[in-house]
Amino acid sequence: MSGNFLSQYGGEIATLTLEHLWLTGAAMLFATAIAVPAGIWLTRSPRWAKPVITVANVLQTIPSLAMFGFLLPLPWLGDRAARIAILALTAYALLPILRNTYAGIRGIEPSILEVAQALGLTSRQLLFKVELPLAASFILAGLRTATVTCVGIATIAAAVGAGGLGELIFRGVASVDNRLVLAGAIPAALLALGADAALGLLERWFRTPQQ
Amino acid sequence: MPAAIEFREVSFATAQGRRLLDRISLALEAGTITAVLGRSGSGKTTLLRTANRMIEPTGGQVLVGGTPIRDAEIIGLRRGMGYVIQETGLFPHFNIERNAGLVLEAEGRPRDERIRRSHGLLAAVGLDPASFAHLYPRQLSGGQRQRVGLARALAAEPKILLMDEPFGALDPLTRAEMQDMLRDLLHKLPGRVQTTVLLVTHDLDEALYLADRIVLLEAGKLIANLERAAFLRSTQPEVSAYVRAFHRGERSNASKAGPE
């Protein structure tokens, strides 16, 4: 990419990168706010685990372009493309976070939980002092998978006009301009790699060696 | 004075209808150590777990200090009882000091009190706080971890201590050290409240060494409830069978030595 190209598109790339970040970030916030409590709830009512995780699984198998299409005609949501994009990305992010929260807590050594209860920790203390800290690296691993997936899928959001780096890619494809395609694809890839590395560090930080 | 713990006709059956405890009646006098012996599956652990409502009996009731625990507030009940199990169950993400002071932390006691108390207890169980307080459970040997488990159980000065095969996973020498330490702790620790201990074990020697009374369970039924000294002399067939099974080595040595 020549300096000329960058001076022409640099500002737009920056704006679209920010937009991309905003779409993904908002979706991750929503997905975490839904999936972590839901995962905790599933550990309390394990008979729901299979059906709920199956639903999240099915959501994830819907092709992203189709998902954006389905949401387009919905009232209120359809008014603003960003709403559709965030909702769709949230749906995709649910499964990894939900599954890892559930598995992370269920995987804690039973004797630890038994003693915690027998010594009189309240269920709140059990959750915040024992279960969440011990499952934290698992939950973060789920978050990491979800984030990387969403950074990728967010490029499709441009198809419904939600903006983000996909816009450059779509425009590049339409005008057969590979420079434009790369101008969208490279920052998107870098975002994914950056998120992966940052969350990976965080995950390592929270990893507790078991006894 | 009411018994520290009383099991009154306590029964427990699983949802599938398997009867694990069959009308067990047993009273533990305050300040005594009672060992519950029995083979695996005899219901020892189940009985112990009814005392802190980890299991709710399907029949009969458990009383602590004369009050049925069914009506007791469960968190307070449990905090008033120390709990030690074979697997230790230390929290891998807390250092030793925090593990030992966990019950105090749960009760919301101030940090400096927690630290003072947990350091005192670590010293009492034979772990120098200066070198151990900031280590993590994975850095300790099995015996050391079990010491921390005991310190944790005693941190809130419980009147009752429930121990489920506490030394079962340790080698014989470490086990003997731990038994000595427990005996010292319960008898000598200054200013300690009288602790009533319910000790589940399958080790007859451990029961004889530590307990005032020995209870034998078989298939969920209470077979014998005897003073320590009376246990070895008992002519009850189940009791003498248990004693024989345990002291086979000594007898075979004795018979090899033969008449001289």
Contact check, Cβ <8 Å, B137/A211: yes
Count CA atoms within 13 Å of residue A95 on its CB side. Answer: 19
Chain B residue closest in CA terms to A205 = B93
**Contact indicator for A153, A163 with CB cutoff of 8 Å:** no
pLDDT at A142: 96
pTM: 0.85
User: Which carries the bigger pLDDT value, residue B255 or residue B80?
Assistant: B80
pLDDT at B255: 58
Contact check, Cβ <8 Å, A211/B54: no
pLDDT at A95 over 90: yes
List the Cα angle B9/B12/B16 in 5-degree steps: 150
Q: For the purposes of burial, counting CB atoms within 10 Å of the CB of A112, is it exposed (0-12), middle (13-18) or buried (19 or more)?
A: buried
pLDDT at A73: 82
Average pLDDT (A47-58) is 92
Average pLDDT (B6-17) is 93
pLDDT at A137: 92
User: Which carries the bigger pLDDT value, residue B96 or residue B187?
Assistant: B96
Render B169-186 in DSSP notation, one character per residue: TS-HHHHHHHHHHHHHHH
Under DSSP, the state recorded for A158 is G
How do B81-85 and B67-68 pair as beta strands?
Answer: unpaired
Q: What is the pLDDT of residues B194-203, one digit of tens each?
A: 889 999 998 9
CA atoms of A86 and A92, how far apart (whole Å): 10
CA atoms of A72 and B162, how far apart (whole Å): 62
Average pLDDT (B82-109) is 93
pLDDT at B260: 44
Distance from the B174 Cα atom to the nearest Cα atom in chain A, whole angstroms = 19
pLDDT at B103 over 70: yes
Q: For the purposes of burial, counting CB atoms within 10 Å of the CB of A69, is it exposed (0-12), middle (13-18) or buried (19 or more)?
A: middle
Q: Which residues of A touch B81 (CB under 8 A)?
A: 118
Q: Which of A111, A134, A209 sits opposite B85 (nearest CB)?
A: A111
- The helix (run of H) or strand (run of E) holding residue B19 is strand B19-28
Average pLDDT (B157-169) is 91
pLDDT at B191 over 60: no
pLDDT at B209 over 80: yes
- Which CATH topology does B81-157+170-193 take? Rossmann fold (3.40.50)
Q: In what order do the strands lie in the sheet with B196-200?
A: B81-85, B160-164, B196-200, B33-37, B213-218, B221-227
- pLDDT category at A155 given cuts 50, 70, 90 is very high
Render A176-192 in DSSP notation, one character per residue: T-HHHHHHHHHHHHHHH
Give ipTM to 2 decimals.
0.86
Q: What is the pLDDT of residues B135-156, one digit of tens each?
A: 999 999 999 999 999 999 998 8
pLDDT at B192: 54
pLDDT at A208 over 80: no
Q: Give chain B's mean pLDDT.
A: 89
Q: Give chain A's mean pLDDT.
A: 90
Task: Tell me the sheet residues that pair with B8.
Answer: B61
Contact check, Cβ <8 Å, B78/A118: yes
pLDDT at B157 over 90: no
**Contact indicator for A147, A196 with CB cutoff of 8 Å:** yes
Q: Which two tokens stand for residue B200?
A: 């589940």
Report residue B168: phi and psi, to 5°.
-65, -30
Contact check, Cβ <8 Å, A208/B89: no
pLDDT at B188: 66
pLDDT at B190: 53
Domain boundaries, chain B: 1-75+194-253, 81-157+170-193
Which of A105, A208, A211 is the best substitution to test chain B (most B C-beta atoms within 10 A)?
A: A211
Q: What is the pLDDT of residues B38-91, one digit of tens each?
A: 988 899 999 999 999 999 999 999 999 999 999 889 999 999 999 999 888 899
Q: Which residues of A touch B136 (CB under 8 A)?
A: 209
Which of B50, B83, B99, B162 is the best substitution to test chain A (most A C-beta atoms within 10 A)?
A: B83
Contact check, Cβ <8 Å, B106/A120: yes
What stretches of chain A show up as alpha helix (H) in DSSP?
3-44, 49-61, 64-71, 81-106, 110-118, 123-125, 132-153, 166-174, 178-206
Q: Which residues of B92-115 are buried (b: 16+ CB within 10 A; e: fewer)?
A: bbbebbbbbbbbbbbeeeeeeebb
What stretches of chain B show up as alpha helix (H) in DSSP?
44-51, 74-79, 96-100, 102-106, 111-124, 129-132, 142-154, 172-188, 204-210, 228-233, 237-246, 248-257
**Contact indicator for A27, A156 with CB cutoff of 8 Å:** no
Contact check, Cβ <8 Å, B88/A111: yes
Contact check, Cβ <8 Å, A211/B79: no
Q: Which residues of A touch B79 (CB under 8 A)?
A: 119-120
pLDDT at A211 over 50: no
CA atoms of A32 and B129, how far apart (whole Å): 40
pLDDT at B258: 47
Q: Side chain identity at B53, as an amino acid letter?
A: R
List the Cα angle B103/B105/B109 in 5-degree steps: 110
Q: What is the pLDDT of residues A100-152, one digit of tens each?
A: 999 999 999 999 999 999 999 999 999 999 999 999 999 999 999 999 999 99
Count CA atoms within 13 Å of residue B181 on its CB side. Answer: 22
pLDDT at B189: 58
Return the CATH number of B1-75+194-253, one of 3.40.50.9100, 3.40.50.920, 3.40.640.10, 3.40.50.300: 3.40.50.300
Chain B residue closest in CA terms to A112 = B89
- Domains annotated for chain A, with CATH where assigned, are 3-206 (1.10.3720.10)
Under DSSP, the state recorded for A128 is I
User: Which carries the bigger pLDDT value, residue B192 or residue B181?
Assistant: B181
pLDDT at B193: 62
pLDDT at A206 over 50: yes
Q: Which residues of B189-215 are buried (b: 16+ CB within 10 A; e: fewer)?
A: eeeeeebbbbbbbbbbebbbebbebbb
Contact check, Cβ <8 Å, B103/A120: yes
Q: Side chain identity at A162, as an amino acid letter?
A: A
Chain A residue closest in CA terms to B54 = A118
Q: Which of B75, B89, B93 sits opposite A111 (nearest CB)?
A: B89
pLDDT at B250 over 80: no
| pLDDT over 70 percentage in chain A | 96
- pLDDT category at A33 given cuts 50, 70, 90 is very high
Contact check, Cβ <8 Å, B93/A133: yes
Asked whether the domain spanning B81-157+170-193 has the same topology as the one spanning B1-75+194-253, the reply is yes
Average pLDDT (A68-80) is 79
Helix (H, G, I), strand (E, B) or coil at B133: coil
Distance from the B35 Cα atom to the nearest Cα atom in chain A, whole angstroms = 20
Residue partners of B179: CB distance under 8 A and separation at least 6: B167, B206, B209, B210
